[in-house]
Every structure is written in structure tokens, then in C-alpha cells.
């Protein structure tokens, strides 16, 4: 069956306000310059997206989504051509948070929830999997505790779906631990009753399982202390063998993505000329012959495979790596699907248009669209008619006509390394030095991009230029660039950020007397380390959930499976690198800080423990340094609760205005 019929121009069944700036133009008769619009309120930027995690039912007749209302998140469903929302599940986000939702058949959904807990005095993040009908009835905790479960309580992670079994509609494959095992088995679980049957026993150190297109478990990923093995078996379940073995950050790594329709065709992500690319591998060949399917000379490729619900073939890769680079939808290698994506891009130009999913007959599709200075929107497309209808704005209070967007800039570090960065300025101001906020990303192996960002838009709306730098160690720019950040916290990674400020001053973007640094997680560490290492460069620093003591962080990470090896590879050895780690731990050098510091941290943070900010606040207090510390009760690492986000944004606004001499508007 053809994926699409030939479409003429994409038709958008919307009012013009869905795609154009919503501000009204001045009348032709009025030559008086309009008065500047008042700044949008803090709450408009601090709110969680009004709609998120939208998903389409298999028959294409219903949608489900998470609706955020202040501190409450509601799982809702709606008939696509109707207006009435059905409330399915609700949380106040104080303890439980939704992670994702997904249709398992036309009437029933699975919803993952997460919450902070403790096991043997170690803080954990727990997940549970709920099964519920689209009208809110038939609620079931899918994984009930059984006598075979671990003696210290139920399984920590209960939402790891291995296979959705779309042709079945009554079951899913889950990987779950049982008894005292720390590694998972694979179970077939009935979504109506929760009854489960084991289909594959655990294997030593195998923590992840993958199935082929016929829903047979065929791949296991074995991991131990940073060493990985990719195991595979034949289609009949026999002859388990090692395909590849490697360390996690080696160039030789071959990460399985999934199978093609052919049970011997495995897609993998692997190195190609220094960048991650997508290959298909013939498992029937003795030498595991590879075929290059998708590569880019500048950027790494990553993402999930897209499979046709009708043909079962893999038709592309769901990735954002090629967007905004002038590529013509090369990530979709099925010609008709690529033609559909191109027609969407023509109808919604200048955006990142992502195909999220299709109905089982492939006639209806769900689309997410956002862009540089364009908040996200969800659309529903009909391939028979070519029409695309707006379903929801994620940030309806943010008028694109009043947002700033980002400018892509290139910065050269002091050692000659080229860095990609993104500059936002207050709308309409391009020709004068401004107070600058340097905004390093978290991870540290994350990255910033040119897509809509509520943090940068908020800061730009308050009169700041905002600079985001993909410093060495950021992902997406190849193996060498990523590994250049290993064990270099506070060293060259920090120098890249300092060099970016100097660039902004030289280019006339930044007023050198009014530069602040703001960050979260690793970005919070960089903010603190920035005012330790270069005290004359910044006027103030803001750290949300930031790291302050690297040795303590390594010890924290070591409490978790695989955490010690990951921390050693990325941060350093607690004993072997002790002097370097002490020299680059801000809490141990508070006396060198000469500017005010704002610290904010949640007590339920399981990524960076709250003790990191408590210790930093204590060190600043002992050193007599000006600071403010805000502790958010039950707050997590992601500001998942709106009241916490609003508190942080308001504190940041007032703090920056006070110390960068920009009056709140």
C-alpha cells in the first residue's frame, strides 16, 4: 500500500493566527508609533507546556495528552473531531509525575509515573505503569507485587516496554526483575488484567532487551563497569553469541536501534568518519557486513527508527540532527514518506516539523511543530485530503510576534577549537552592548539548539542578551568533540565559556561590566565554577540544582548500578584525580568568589543531591560571601512542579535585575 497519495500544496485548516504573529497591525491612518507592549508576565514563561506527550490512537480517531494546569497535570483524551475532553488520570505533581503515555489499543492507554523514594538509605527514582481505559475507567497498576519479587519491595523500574505488540492489542512485553535478581527477565503482560508470563529468563549482566519485527527477543545489551557486549540469537531463539564488545565511549561502539522486517537485518548506530551514523547489519553474514543508511559530515545522528505500520519496514530515523542544516529530509529514506515530510515543511516553513506517529492504516498522522522563536504546536494530518489541522498550542500565552528567537554564531576557543553557539537578544535591539546572561547547558553531554526555549525567551524579554555555547564535551559534534570533555570539568570546558564571554564583548554584544552566568545541573556547576575561576568576568551567578563538590558527586553516583564507571569516565577518579577534583570543586573555594550567588535546589532531586547546594551555601556563609539559598520541598531535578518553576523564575528575575542593573518590567 502506498504511504501517501500525491498531494498538491499542503492546506492548513486553521485560522491565520495559528501560523502568524497574533499581534494586531497598526492601522494605515495612524502614523503614531505604537506604545511598547508591556513585558509578558513571568508566569507565561514559567508555566509547563499546556499540552505535552500527545499520542494518537491506532485507529486515528482519538488523541491522548498531558494537560498542565498550574501544579496539576491531567491525562486527557479527546475524539479528534470533537471538543469534549475526558479526564483519565490526575496528579498534583507533589509526589507523582507522569513520564509518558501511550495507546496500547483503541480503548486503553498505558501511563508511566515516576516518584522519588529510598532503598537501603539510597535515594531512588521509582516508576510504575498504569493501565486505564480512555474514559478513565478500569484503572490497573499493571505490575502487582508477587511472592517472586525482591524481598526489599517491588521492582524499581516497571515501565520499560520492550515491545508494544501492536497486532495483539491485549499484551505488551515488559522487562522486569524478579526474585533477588538485579537484571531483568522479559514478560508478556495482559493490559486488562496484569497477568504476566515470562518469555525469556535473565542473563548475566544483561540490562536491556530488544525484539525483532516478529516480536521475538533477539538482542541483549550486557553492561558491567563501563564495558558493553551486544548479544544476539538466531530467529528461532538459539545460538546466543556476542556480536560486539566495547567500552561505552569507544569509536568501536555499535549500538543496536532495532530490526528491519527482515529478521536478519539489524540497524545500529556506529562511527562513520568521526560522526555517529546509521547502518544496517546482516546478521547472517559471518563478518557482520554493514550498509551505510544515513550519515552527516558535521553532526552525529541519533534517534528512534520509524517503522511503517502497514508494511512493517523501517522507513527512516526520528531525529532532529538534520533539521535546520539545509538537508531535504534525508533521514526519511522511504520516498513517499519523504515527500509527505517535504510537503509539511512547505506548509509550515522555518520550523522543526516532526512526524510523531501514524494510524494503523497510515492515513492519519500526528505532527509536532516548533521553531526558532516559535513555541510548539500539535497538528493532525489527513493524507487523503492533504489537510493539516491545529490541535493545540503548547504555550498559548506566548505570542510568537513578541519573542526573540536565536541567532547561530561561531566562536573560536583559545586553543583554536570551533564552538557553535546561540545568541538571543531582546526583540528589536541589535546594535548596542547589553547586559549578558551566559547560559551553559546541563549534562554536560547535552547540547543547545536553535529551537524554541522558554528560558532564553524569558531572559531576553527582561532586557538581556543570552548566549548558549555548545562547549567541548557537548553531544552531536562527533566522537572527538564529545570525548574532549571527559574529566575536564572546570578546565577546558570552563575556558570555552569564558572565551564565549570575551567573544561577546569583542563583538559589541555584551557590556563587560554587566555579565551574569546562569545554569542548571552541570550548567549550575559551570555557573559556580565560573565565579570561582574567573571572578572578574561575572557580576553574579545563578545555580539551579548545581554540582559543587565533584568528589561527593562521584560517591553519590557510585551508589547506583553502573554509576561508578560512568562517573569515573566522565568526571574522574575519586582518589587518582583527587587534587584536580578538589581544585575544580566550587564549594572548596568559596573564598575566591567575589560576586553574589543565587542557589536553588529541590529536596527530592535524585540526579544531583540537594546536599550539593546545601554544602555550597554553607561554604559561602562561612566565607562571608553574599548569597541566597532557596530550598524547594519535594522539588525534583526538572522543575516538574509549576509552583517551583515560578518561584525559581521570579527569584532569578529579581536577582539578575538587582545585580546586572536592569529594572524588572
Residue 237 lies in a domain: no
The three-class DSSP label of residue 402 is helix
Adjacency order of strands within the sheet including 265-272: 254-259, 265-272, 275-282, 290-294
The CATH number of whichever domain residue 454 belongs to comes to: 3.40.50.1820
Burial class of 581 by CB neighbour count within 10 A (0 to 12, 13 to 18, 19+) = buried
**How does pLDDT run across 436-454, given as a tens digit for each residue?**
999 999 999 999 999 999 9
- Cα gap 181→291, rounded to integer Å: 38
* Ranges of the chain whose pLDDT falls below 70: 1-37, 145-152, 321-328, 662-665
- What is the reported pLDDT for 150? 52
Instruction: Note whether 217 and 232 are within 8 A (CB).
Output: no
**How high does pLDDT run on average in the chain?**
91
**In 424-491, where does DSSP find H-type helix?**
454-461, 479-483
Give the H or E element holding residue 619: helix 611-622
- What is the reported pLDDT for 152? 58
Residue 641 lies in a domain: yes
Residue 414 lies in a domain: yes
Instruction: Note whether 613 and 66 are within 8 A (CB).
Output: no
- What is the reported pLDDT for 2? 29
Residue 540 lies in a domain: yes
Q: How many domains is the chain built from? A: 1
- Per DSSP bridges, beta strands 227-232 and 241-247 are antiparallel
Residue 539 lies in a domain: yes
Nearest to 407 by CA among 509, 327, 501: 509
- What is the reported pLDDT for 36? 55
Residue 527 lies in a domain: yes
Residues 6+ apart with CB under 8 A from 624: none
- What is the reported pLDDT for 5? 27
- What is the reported pLDDT for 11? 30
Phi, psi values for residue 428, rounded to 5°: 90, -5
Residue 644 lies in a domain: yes
Instruction: Note whether 463 and 491 are within 8 A (CB).
Output: no
Q: What is the DSSP letter of 33?
A: P
- Cα gap 158→178, rounded to integer Å: 11
Residue 364 lies in a domain: no
Domain of residue 532, residue span: 400-549+585-659
Amino acid at each position: 500500500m502506498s504511504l501517501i497519495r500525491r498531494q498538491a500544496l499542503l492546506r492548513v485548516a486553521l485560522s491565520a493566527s495559528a501560523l502568524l504573529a497574533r499581534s494586531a497591525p497598526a492601522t494605515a491612518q495612524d502614523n503614531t508609533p505604537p506604545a511598547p507592549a508591556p513585558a509578558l508576565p513571568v508566569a507565561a514563561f514559567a508555566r509547563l507546556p499546556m499540552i505535552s506527550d500527545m499520542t494518537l490512537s491506532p485507529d486515528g480517531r482519538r488523541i491522548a495528552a498531558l494537560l498542565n494546569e498550574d501544579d496539576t497535570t491531567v491525562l486527557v483524551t479527546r475524539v479528534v473531531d470533537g471538543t469534549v475532553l475526558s479526564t483519565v488520570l490526575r496528579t498534583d505533581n507533589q509526589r507523582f509525575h507522569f513520564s509518558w503515555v501511550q495507546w496500547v489499543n483503541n480503548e486503553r492507554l498505558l501511563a508511566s509515573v515516576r516518584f522519588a523514594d529510598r532503598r537501603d538509605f539510597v535515594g531512588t527514582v521509582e516508576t510504575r505503569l498504569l493501565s486505564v481505559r480512555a474514559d478513565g475507567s478500569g484503572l490497573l497498576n499493571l505490575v502487582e507485587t508477587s511472592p517472586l519479587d525482591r524481598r526489599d519491595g517491588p521492582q524499581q523500574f516497571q515501565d520499560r516496554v520492550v515491545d508494544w505488540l501492536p497486532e495483539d492489542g491485549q499484551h505488551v512485553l515488559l522487562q522486569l526483575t524478579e526474585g533477588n535478581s538485579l537484571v531483568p527477565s522479559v514478560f508478556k503482560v495482559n493490559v486488562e488484567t496484569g497477568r504476566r508470563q515470562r518469555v525469556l529468563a535473565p542473563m548475566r549482566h544483561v540490562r536491556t532487551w530488544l525484539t525483532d519485527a516478529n516480536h521475538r527477543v533477539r538482542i541483549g545489551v550486557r553492561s558491567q563497569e563501563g564495558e558493553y557486549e551486544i548479544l544476539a540469537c538466531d530467529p528461532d531463539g538459539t545460538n546466543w553469541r556476542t556480536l560486539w564488545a566495547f567500552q561505552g565511549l569507544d569509536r568501536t561502539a555499535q549500538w543496536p536501534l532495532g530490526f528491519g522486517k527482515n529478521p536478519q537485518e539489524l540497524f545500529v548506530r556506529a562511527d562513520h568518519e568521526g560522526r555517529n551514523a546509521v547502518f544496517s547489519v546482516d546478521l547472517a553474514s559471518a563478518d557482520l557486513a554493514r550498509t551505510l543508511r544515513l550519515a552527516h559530515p558535521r553532526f552525529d545522528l541519533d534517534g528512534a527508527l520509524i517503522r511503517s505500520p502497514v508494511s512493517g519496514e523501517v522507513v527512516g530515523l526520528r531525529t532532529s540532527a538534520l533539521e535546520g542544516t539545509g538537508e531535504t529530509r534525508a533521514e526519511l529514506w522511504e520516498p513517499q514518506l519523504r515527500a509527505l515530510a517535504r510537503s509539511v515543511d512547505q506548509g509550515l516553513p522555518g520550523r522543526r516539523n516532526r512526524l510523531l506517529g501514524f494510524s494503523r492504516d497510515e492515513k492519519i498522522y500526528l505532527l509536532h511543530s516548533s521553531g526558532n522563536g516559535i513555541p510548539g504546536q500539535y497538528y493532525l494530518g489527513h493524507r487523503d485530503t492533504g489537510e493539516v489541522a491545529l490541535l493545540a498550542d503548547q504555550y498559548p500565552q506566548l505570542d510568537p510576534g513578541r519573542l526573540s528567537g536565536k541567532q547561530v554564531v561561531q566562536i573560536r576557543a583559545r586553543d583554536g577549537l570551533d564552538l557553535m553557539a546561540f545568541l538571543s537578544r531582546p526583540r528589536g535591539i541589535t546594535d548596542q552592548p547589553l547586559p549578558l546572561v551566559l547560559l551553559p547547558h546541563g549534562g554536560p553531554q547535552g547540547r543547545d539548539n536553535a529551537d524554541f526555549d522558554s528560558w532564553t525567551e524569558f531572559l531576553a524579554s527582561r532586557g538581556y542578551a543570552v548566549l548558549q555555547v555548545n562547549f567541548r564535551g557537548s553531544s552531536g559534534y562527533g566522537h572527538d568533540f564529545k570525548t574532549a570533555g571527559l574529566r575536564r570539568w572546570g578546565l577546558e570546558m570552563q575556558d570555552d565559556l569564558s572565551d564565549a564571554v570575551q567573544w561577546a564583548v569583542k563583538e559589541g554584544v555584551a557590556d563587560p561590566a554587566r555579565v551574569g552566568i546562569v545554569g542548571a545541573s552541570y550548567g549550575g556547576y559551570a555557573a559556580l565554577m565560573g565565579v570561582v575561576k574567573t571572578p572578574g568576568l561575572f557580576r553574579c551567578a545563578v545555580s539551579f540544582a548545581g554540582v559543587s563538590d565533584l568528589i561527593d558527586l562521584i560517591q553519590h553516583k557510585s551508589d547506583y548500578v553502573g554509576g561508578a564507571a560512568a562517573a569515573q569516565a566522565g568526571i574522574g577518579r575519586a582518589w587518582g584525580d583527587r587534587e584536580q577534583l578538589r581544585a575544580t570543586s566550587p564549594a572548596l573555594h568559596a573564598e575566591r568568589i567575589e560576586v553574589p550567588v543565587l542557589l536553588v535546589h529541590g529536596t527530592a532531586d535524585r540526579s544531583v543531591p540537594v546536599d550539593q547546594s546545601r554544602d555550597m551555601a554553607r561554604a559561602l556563609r562561612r566565607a562571608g560571601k553574599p548569597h541566597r539559598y532557596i530550598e524547594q520541598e519535594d522539588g525534583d531535578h526538572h522543575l516538574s512542579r509549576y509552583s517551583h518553576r515560578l518561584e525559581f523564575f521570579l527569584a532569578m528575575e529579581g536577582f539578575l535585575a538587582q545585580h546586572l542593573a536592569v529594572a524588572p518590567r
